[in-house]
C-alpha cells in the first residue's frame, strides 16, 4: 500500500505543440476522408442487409412464380355416354344394397378410351387416371347411368403445361421438352374450345402419384398432421414437466447439472443424428413399423424436446417469486403452487415456445428420410402405424422427379408448407403479444 501513497514522479516537460490548424487543406481532407469511410461503412451494412432481403425475396419470388400454376390444372371436355351395357354393369343391381360393388366392377377405363375417340387426333391428351373421374361420377349419382353427360377430365401433364404456356414454342423440337404432336393436339383442342383451366382440386385432395397431373399433397398434409400430433403429444407434457422440475424442484447437484448439459447439447445436435437414433432404436431394436407417423413423431419429439424445455424454463422463471410466496403463505403445497399458480401464468410463454418448436419439426426432412418416410405412398394415411409421408419429404421426393410437371407441383407444395409455417408463427406472435404480461 505504501507505494500507492508515493507521489508520482513529475513528467519530464515536453516542448509545447502548436494547436492543430483544422482549416488547412490537409486536415480538411482527412476529415472528409473519415466521413467518406463512415458513409461507406454504413452503406456496406445497409448493403449486407439488403442483400439478405434480396435473397429472401428472390427465393420467394421464384417459388411463387413456379408454384402458382400448380394450383390450377387444365381439363378437356368430353361427351360421355354412361351405357351400363358397355360398362358391364347391371343397372338394376346398382340401386340394390351392393350398388357400390357393382359399380366398381364396371370397365371405366374402356369407357374412357371409347369416349376419347371423339377428340380425333388429339385422343391421347387425356390423363391415364382420368377414368377414375367417371367412376367417381357414377358412384356419386348412379342415375346418370344410361345417359350422355358432358364431363371435364384432367389432361396429361405435357398438355397441361402447354395450356399454361410453360414451353418456349419457338425452340426446336429436340430442346423444347414437348413433341410437335402434343402441340398440334393442344392447338386443335384449344381452337374447338374444349379446354379450360380451373382450380386444381386433385392437387389439394389426393395423395402422391407417378403422374404429375394426378399427384396431390393431401396425403402428405395428413401425414404431417399425424406426425405432429405424436410429436406434440409426447414432447409437450414431457418438456413442460422436465422444465418444472429443473426450475422449481431440482437441487443443485451433479445429476441436475448432467440433465442441464444434456438438454443444452441435444438442442445443438444435428437433426440427422436423431434420424440415426430413430433408425437404430425405434426400428431396429423395438421393431416399430417403418415409415409410420408414430416413429416419425417419436423421433421429432426427441428433437423438439430441448426447445420446449428451454423456452418453458424461461417462461416459468419469468413468473415473479411473490406469486409463489403468496400461495405458499396461505398454505398451498409446493406442487399446488406450481400447478395452480405458476404454470397457468407461464402457459402463454410455454405455448409460444411449443409452437416455434412445432414449426421447426414441421419443416424437418432429414431424420424422417432415415426412418423410411421417403416411401411412395398413394393412399392417404389412415392411422399412426400405416405408411405415410410428410410435406417436406413430399417436396424432396418431387424435386428428385425428372418429369417436368413435378417442378410446379414441388413449388406449389412449398407454398403450402410456407403458408402453414407462416400461420403457426403468426399464432405464436399473436399469443406472445396477447398474453405476455410484465410484472
Which of these, 163, 189, 161, lies nearest to 66 by C-alpha position? Answer: 161
- CB 58 → other proteins: shortest distance, Å? 8
Contacts of 134 (CB under 8 A, 6+ apart): 80, 82, 108, 111, 112, 151, 153
> In 29-108, at which residue ranges do the beta strands (DSSP E only) sit?
72-81
At 127, list the grid cell.
Answer: 390423363
Alpha-carbon dihedral sign for residues 388, 391, 396, 398: positive
- Looking at the Cβ atoms of 175 and 191, the one nearer to other proteins is 175
Site for other proteins in 96-155 (CB under 8 A): none
Work out the angle at residue 409's Cα, subtended by the Cα atoms of residues 406 and 414, and round it to the nearest 5 degrees. 125
- CB 345 → other proteins: shortest distance, Å? 18
- CB 183 → other proteins: shortest distance, Å? 25
Stretch that binds other proteins, among 45-53, 87-95, 178-186, 346-354 (CB under 8 A): 45-53
Which of these, 94, 93, 87, 85, lies nearest to 142 by C-alpha position? Answer: 94
- Looking at the Cβ atoms of 130 and 277, the one nearer to other proteins is 277
Question: Is 145 within 8 Å of 94 (Cβ atoms)?
Answer: yes
- Looking at the Cβ atoms of 87 and 242, the one nearer to other proteins is 242
- CB 19 → other proteins: shortest distance, Å? 15
Using a 10 angstrom Cβ sphere, with 0-12 exposed, 13-18 middle and 19 or more buried, the burial of residue 426 is exposed
Report how far residue 133's alpha carbon sits from residue 140's, in angstroms, rounded to the nearest whole number.
10
Q: Which of 86, 146, 249, 257 binds other proteins (CB under 8 A)?
A: 249
Q: Which of 88, 146, 270, 320 binds other proteins (CB under 8 A)?
A: 270
30 binds other proteins (CB under 8 A): no
Q: Which of 28, 118, 201, 333 binds other proteins (CB under 8 A)?
A: 333
Q: Which of 277, 342, 351, 416 binds other proteins (CB under 8 A)?
A: 277
250 binds other proteins (CB under 8 A): yes
Q: Which of 29, 47, 96, 120 binds other proteins (CB under 8 A)?
A: 47
Question: Is 309 within 8 Å of 243 (Cβ atoms)?
Answer: yes
35 binds other proteins (CB under 8 A): yes
27 binds other proteins (CB under 8 A): no
Task: Describe the strand order of the beta sheet including 148-154 as a list of residue ranges.
Answer: 148-154, 72-81, 195-199
- Looking at the Cβ atoms of 12 and 251, the one nearer to other proteins is 251
Site for other proteins in 339-398 (CB under 8 A): 359, 362-366, 369-370, 372, 374, 392-393, 395-396
Contacts of 394 (CB under 8 A, 6+ apart): 208, 217, 219, 220, 413
Report how far residue 111's alpha carbon sits from residue 335's, in angstroms, rounded to the nearest whole number.
70
Q: How close are the terminal C-alpha atoms of the chain, in Å?
A: 47
Q: Which of 59, 100, 113, 419 binds other proteins (CB under 8 A)?
A: 59
233 binds other proteins (CB under 8 A): no
Stretch that binds other proteins, among 140-148, 215-223, 378-386, 405-413 (CB under 8 A): 405-413
- Looking at the Cβ atoms of 109 and 271, the one nearer to other proteins is 271
Alpha-carbon dihedral sign for residues 91, 96, 102, 108: positive
Site for other proteins in 66-95 (CB under 8 A): 66
Q: Which of 269, 323, 328, 347 binds other proteins (CB under 8 A)?
A: 269
Stretch that binds other proteins, among 70-78, 179-187, 209-217, 248-256 (CB under 8 A): 248-256
64 binds other proteins (CB under 8 A): no
- Looking at the Cβ atoms of 91 and 266, the one nearer to other proteins is 266
- Looking at the Cβ atoms of 77 and 374, the one nearer to other proteins is 374
- CB 48 → other proteins: shortest distance, Å? 3
Site for other proteins in 283-322 (CB under 8 A): 284, 286-287, 302, 305-306, 309
Count the residues of the shown chain that bind other proteins, applying the rule CB under 8 A: 86
Which of these, 197, 195, 183, lies nearest to 121 by C-alpha position? Answer: 183
Which of these, 347, 310, 339, 314, lies nearest to 435 by C-alpha position? Answer: 347
Report how far residue 118's alpha carbon sits from residue 384's, in angstroms, rounded to the nearest whole number.
46
266 binds other proteins (CB under 8 A): yes
Site for other proteins in 176-205 (CB under 8 A): none
325 binds other proteins (CB under 8 A): no
Report how far residue 365's alpha carbon sits from residue 392's, in angstroms, rounded to the nearest whole number.
6
Which of these, 167, 236, 165, lies nearest to 195 by C-alpha position? Answer: 165
Q: Residue written as cell 398474453?
A: 435
Amino acid at each position: 500500500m505504501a507505494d500507492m501513497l508515493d507521489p508520482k514522479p513529475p513528467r519530464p516537460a515536453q516542448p509545447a505543440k502548436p494547436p492543430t490548424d483544422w482549416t488547412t487543406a490537409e486536415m480538411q481532407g482527412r476529415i472528409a476522408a473519415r466521413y467518406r469511410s463512415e458513409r461507406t461503412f454504413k452503406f456496406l451494412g445497409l448493403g449486407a442487409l439488403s442483400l439478405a432481403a434480396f435473397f429472401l425475396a428472390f427465393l420467394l419470388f421464384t417459388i411463387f412464380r413456379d408454384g402458382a400454376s400448380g394450383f390450377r390444372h387444365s381439363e378437356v371436355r368430353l361427351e360421355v355416354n354412361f351405357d351400363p351395357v358397355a360398362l358391364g354393369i347391371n343397372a338394376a343391381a346398382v340401386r340394390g344394397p351392393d350398388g357400390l360393388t357393382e359399380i366398381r366392377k364396371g370397365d371405366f377405363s374402356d369407357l374412357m378410351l371409347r369416349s376419347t375417340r371423339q377428340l380425333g387426333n388429339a385422343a391421347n391428351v387425356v390423363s391415364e387416371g382420368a377414368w377414375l373421374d367417371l367412376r367417381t361420377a357414377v358412384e356419386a349419382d348412379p342415375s346418370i347411368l344410361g345417359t350422355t353427360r358432358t364431363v371435364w377430365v384432367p389432361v396429361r401433364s405435357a398438355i397441361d403445361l402447354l395450356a399454361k404456356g410453360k414451353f418456349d414454342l419457338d425452340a426446336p423440337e429436340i430442346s423444347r421438352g414437348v413433341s410437335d404432336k402434343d402441340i398440334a393436339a393442344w392447338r386443335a383442342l384449344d381452337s374447338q374450345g374444349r379446354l379450360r383451366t380451373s382450380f386444381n382440386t386433385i392437387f389439394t385432395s389426393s395423395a402422391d402419384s407417378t403422374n404429375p397431373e394426378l399427384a396431390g399433397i393431401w396425403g402428405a398434409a395428413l401425414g404431417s398432421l399425424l406426425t405432429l400430433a405424436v410429436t406434440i403429444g409426447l414432447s409437450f407434457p414431457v418438456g413442460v414437466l422436465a422444465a418444472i422440475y429443473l426450475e422449481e424442484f431440482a437441487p443443485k447437484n451433479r445429476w441436475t447439472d448432467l440433465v442441464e448439459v444434456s438438454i443444452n447439447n441435444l438442442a445443438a445436435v444435428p437433426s440427422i443424428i436423431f434420424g440415426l437414433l430413430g433408425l437404430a432404436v425405434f426400428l431396429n431394436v423395438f421393431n416399430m413399423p417403418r415409415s409410420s407417423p408414430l416413429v416419425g413423431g417419436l423421433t421429432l419429439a426427441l428433437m423438439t424436446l430441448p426447445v420446449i424445455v428451454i423456452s418453458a424454463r424461461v417462461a416459468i422463471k419469468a413468473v415473479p417469486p411473490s406469486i409463489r410466496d403468496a400461495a405458499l403463505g396461505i398454505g398451498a403445497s409446493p406442487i399446488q403452487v406450481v400447478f395452480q399458480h405458476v404454470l397457468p401464468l407461464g402457459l402463454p410463454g410455454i405455448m409460444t415456445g411449443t409452437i416455434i418448436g412445432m414449426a421447426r419439426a414441421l419443416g424437418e426432412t432429414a431424420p424422417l428420410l432415415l426412418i423410411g418416410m421417403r416411401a411412395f405412398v398413394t393412399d392417404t394415411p389412415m392411422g399412426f402405424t400405416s405408411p405415410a409421408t410428410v410435406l417436406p419429404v413430399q417436396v424432396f421426393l418431387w424435386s428428385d422427379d425428372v418429369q417436368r410437371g413435378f417442378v410446379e407441383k414441388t413449388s406449389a407444395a412449398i407454398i403450402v408448407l410456407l403458408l402453414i409455417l407462416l400461420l403457426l408463427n403468426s399464432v405464436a406472435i399473436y399469443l406472445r403479444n396477447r398474453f405476455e404480461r410484465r410484472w
